[in-house]
């Protein structure tokens, strides 16, 4: 969708961007973040040619943007800045419909879309269409700014710290609105921020920059769990995983090789296998590793020793997917008053087992890492 190819930007002898290359997939919300002066806003403005690179190319849908008329390019890219950029002498309706009218879109379609966009950002069209920007609060103006960016009917939206001047409650609300709009309208959004919490909340991927270079480009979860360098770890904050427990997935806290048996084993054999492996439960699977059920020592120790596990095992077993987060895992265990949760993949094959001990072990290792880091 958007491709940066060997981009360099110099001001006199000072290099702001150094041989920057990146591919951004269509429909993703990508956050550029990093220390002041790292080049994130410069890169954003290169996409709509407000800033020209010293060397290198930028492609949108395979087309070199340097060969596109800049006015035409900008009419097809939404742009939101911190100060909203609304025209004060125009009503909200006129602000939202300006670019669609310049592009010659159908008037009835424009009017319908304007009302839909206002509703998407949580504003009543009847109450706001004919007001002027000065009659709105800062949060309401920013909502209009977001709506106007989406009004261009473009596939790309650029957002340069659009929420940074807002109070925390309004900012959180707008982050939620933006996240929902992006998922509903499937736009490609490049979002610049200096706030790591904001990045975690909205991003599909985060591009962490320093001195015009990429330090790490990955999902929020992977950056939190596997920072690429000490600088990245320091920038995101060493205790971020503790502040964001939802990034720990079932695959991160499970026992990877739980002891398992076939349903054709008998109770005596199951008890011996438990003793040998020092466990008090066994997963029961078929020859394709499909989870069938489980047995616990407590449940089978009074059963006839010759009984087959197929007859005495618990068939209705709660299980979670590998991508289920820690909060959901704990809720399921507490809601159903269980101490074990098998983990299965998309094919319902057993891949692991979560116990309260495995959760404590995973959290303890995180704490040890933090203590070593300090």
In the chain, what are the domain boundaries? 2-246, 251-362
Sequence-distant (6+) residues with CB within 8 A of 223 are 206, 208, 216, 232, 236
Q: What is the Cα–Cα distance from 214 to 211, expressed in whole angstroms? A: 9
Contact present, 164 and 195 (Cβ < 8 Å): yes
Query: If pLDDT is split at 50, 70 and 90, which confidence band does 163 have?
Result: confident
224-281 confidence digits (pLDDT tens): 778 888 888 888 765 455 556 666 788 888 998 899 999 999 999 999 999 999 888 8
Q: Residue 368: which pLDDT band, with cuts at 50, 70 and 90? A: very low
φ, ψ dihedrals at 197, nearest 5°: -65, -40
Say whether pLDDT at 373 is over 50: no
CATH of domain 2-246: 3.40.50.300
Q: Do domains 2-246 and 251-362 have the same CATH topology?
A: no
pLDDT tops 80 at residue 339: yes
End-to-end CA separation in angstroms for the chain: 41
In this structure, what DSSP letter does residue 160 have? E
Is the pLDDT assigned to residue 147 strictly greater than 90? no
Long-range contacts (CB closer than 8 Å, 24 or more residues apart) made by 60-64: 60/1, 60/2, 60/3, 60/156, 61/1
DSSP reduced 3-state for 339: coil
Residue 160 has pLDDT above 70, yes or no: yes
* Angle at the Cα of 279 from the Cα atoms of 274 and 283, rounded to 5 degrees: 75
Long-range contacts (CB closer than 8 Å, 24 or more residues apart) made by 325-329: 325/245, 325/246, 325/247, 325/248, 325/249, 325/250, 326/245, 326/246, 326/248, 326/249, 326/250, 326/252, 326/253, 326/359, 327/245, 327/246, 329/250, 329/253, 329/354, 329/359
* Element (DSSP H or E) covering residue 373: helix 356-373
Confidence of residue 374 (pLDDT cuts 50, 70, 90): very low
For residue 372, pLDDT beyond 60: no
Contact criterion met (CB below 8 Å) for 203 and 183? no
- Distance between CA 109 and CA 2 in Å, rounded? 28
Residue 84 in this model has a pLDDT that exceeds 70:
no
Q: In the prediction, which pLDDT does 293 show?
A: 93
* 8 A C-beta contact, residue 132 and residue 90: yes
**CATH topology for the 251-362 domain:** CBS-domain (3.10.580)
Sign of the C-alpha dihedral computed for residues 225, 184, 87 and 130 taken in this order = negative
Average pLDDT over residues 316-341: 90
Q: What is the pLDDT of residues 2-24, one digit of tens each?
A: 999 999 999 888 889 989 999 99
Q: Residue 17: in which H helix or E strand, if any?
A: strand 14-24
Mean pLDDT, residues 169-195: 86
């Amino acid at each position: 969708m958007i491709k940066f190819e060997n981009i360099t930007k110099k001001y006199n002898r000072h290099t702001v961007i150094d041989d920057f290359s990146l591919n951004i997939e269509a429909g993703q919300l990508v956050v550029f973040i990093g220390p002041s002066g790292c080049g994130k806003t410069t890169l954003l403005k290169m996409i709509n040619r407000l800033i020209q690179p010293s060397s290198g190319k930028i492609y949108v849908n395979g087309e070199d943007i340097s060969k596109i008329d800049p006015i035409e390019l900008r009419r097809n890219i939404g742009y939101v800045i911190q100060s909203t950029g609304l025209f004060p002498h125009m009503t909200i309706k006129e602000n939202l419909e300006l670019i669609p009218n310049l592009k010659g879109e159908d008037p009835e379609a424009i009017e319908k879309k304007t009302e839909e966009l206002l509703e998407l950002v949580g504003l009543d069209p009847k109450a706001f269409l004919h007001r002027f920007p000065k009659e709105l609060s800062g949060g309401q103006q920013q909502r209009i700014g977001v709506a106007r960016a989406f009004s261009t009917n473009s596939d790309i939206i650029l957002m340069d710290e659009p929420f940074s001047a807002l109070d925390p409650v309004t900012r959180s609300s707008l982050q939620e609105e933006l996240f929902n709009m992006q998922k509903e309208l499937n736009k490609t959004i490049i979002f610049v921020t200096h706030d790591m919490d904001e990045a975690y909340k909205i991003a599909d991927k985060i591009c962490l920059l320093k001195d015009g270079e990429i330090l790490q480009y990955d999902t929020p979860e992977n950056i939190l769990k596997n920072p690429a360098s000490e600088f990245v770890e320091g920038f995101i904050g060493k205790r971020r995983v503790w502040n964001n427990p939802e990034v720990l997935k079932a695959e991160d806290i499970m026992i990877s090789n739980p002891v398992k048996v076939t349903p054709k084993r008998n109770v005596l054999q199951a008890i011996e296998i438990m003793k040998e492996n020092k466990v008090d439960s066994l997963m029961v699977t078929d020859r394709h590793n499909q989870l069938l059920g489980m047995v616990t020592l407590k449940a089978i120790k009074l059963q006839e020793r010759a009984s087959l596990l197929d007859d005495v095992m618990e068939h209705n077993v709660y299980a979670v997917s590998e991508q289920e987060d820690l909060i959901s895992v704990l809720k399921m265990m507490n809601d159903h008053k269980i101490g074990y949760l098998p983990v299965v993949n998309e094919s319902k094959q057993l891949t692991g087992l979560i116990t309260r001990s495995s959760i404590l072990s995973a959290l303890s290792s995180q704490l040890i890492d933090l203590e070593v880091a300090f």
